[in-house]
Chains A and B, each alone.
Chain A
Amino acid sequence: MTKRYSSARNSVLRRCWHRVDFKAGVAILTSLALIALLSPVLVPYPEEGEGIVTDDARQRGPQPPSVRYLFGTDVVGRDVLSRVFIGSRYSLLQTTVVILGSLVLGIVLGILAGYLRGVYEVAISYAIELFILLPPAMVAAALSVIAGPSLYVVAASLIATWWAWYARIAYLLSRQIRELDFIKVSEALGFRRIYIAFRHILPNVAPTVVMQSIVDSSSILLEVATINFLVGSIAASLDTPEWGIMVGYGFRYITTYWWMSLFPGFFLIIAALGFILIGDSISEESSPNLRRRWMRWF
Chain B
Amino acid sequence: MASYYVRRTLLGVSLILGLLAIIYVLVYVAPGNPAYVWAGKPRGPRAVEAIKQAERELGLDQPLYIQIAQFITRFLAGEWGVSIAFKQPIQVVVFRSFKATVELLTFSYVFAIPLGLALGTFMALRRGGRVDLLLKIASSTFISIPRFWLALILVLVFYLTGLQPLGRLDPRYSVEIKEITGFYLLDSLFTPRLDIFLDALVRLIPPALVVAVYPLFSIARYVRYSLSERFYEDYVIEAISLGISRRVILARYALRGTIPAVVQIAGMSFVYSFVEAAVVEIIFMREGVGRVLVEGLLRSDYPLIVAVFFVASLTLVIVNTATDLIQKKLDPRVRI
Q: Which residues of A contact B (CB under 8 A)?
A: 126, 129-130, 133-139, 141-147, 149, 218, 222, 225-227, 229-231, 233-235, 244, 247-248, 250-251, 254-255, 258, 261-262, 265, 268-270, 272-273, 276-277, 280, 283-284, 287, 289-290, 292-293, 295-298
Contact = CB atoms under 8 A, between A and B. Distances in A.
A261 B274 contact: no
Most chain A beta carbons < 10 A, residue from B11, B23, B145, B147: B145
B14 interface: yes
Nearest to A131: B22
B3 interface: no
Contact of B293 (A141, A146, A272): A141
Contacts of B37: 145-146
B279 A277 contact: no
B236 interface: yes
B154 to A, nearest CB: 10
A133 B320 contact: yes
Contact of A297 (B11, B18, B232, B312): B232
Contacts of A135: 272, 274-275, 309, 312-313, 316
Contact of B140 (A136, A138, A146, A277): A277
Given A230-B282, A269-B141, 15 more contacts: A126-B18, A130-B22, A141-B296, A225-B146, A234-B298, A244-B146, A247-B148, A265-B149, A272-B144, A276-B143, A283-B225, A289-B228, A289-B232, A290-B229, A297-B236
A241 to B, nearest CB: 16
A225 B279 CA distance: 11
Contacts of B309: 135, 138-139, 141-142
A255 B316 CA distance: 36
B294 interface: yes
A5 to B, nearest CB: 23
Contacts of A146: 26-27, 30-31, 37, 302
Contact of A226 (B237, B275, B316): B275
Interface of B: 11, 14-15, 18-19, 22-23, 26-27, 30-31, 37, 41, 125, 128, 140-141, 143-149, 152-153, 155-156, 159, 225, 228-229, 231-233, 236-237, 240, 246, 249, 272, 274-276, 278-279, 282-283, 293-294, 296-298, 300-302, 305-306, 308-309, 312-313, 316-317, 320
A234 B297 contact: yes
Contact of A129 (B11, B237, B272): B11
A145 B293 CA distance: 11
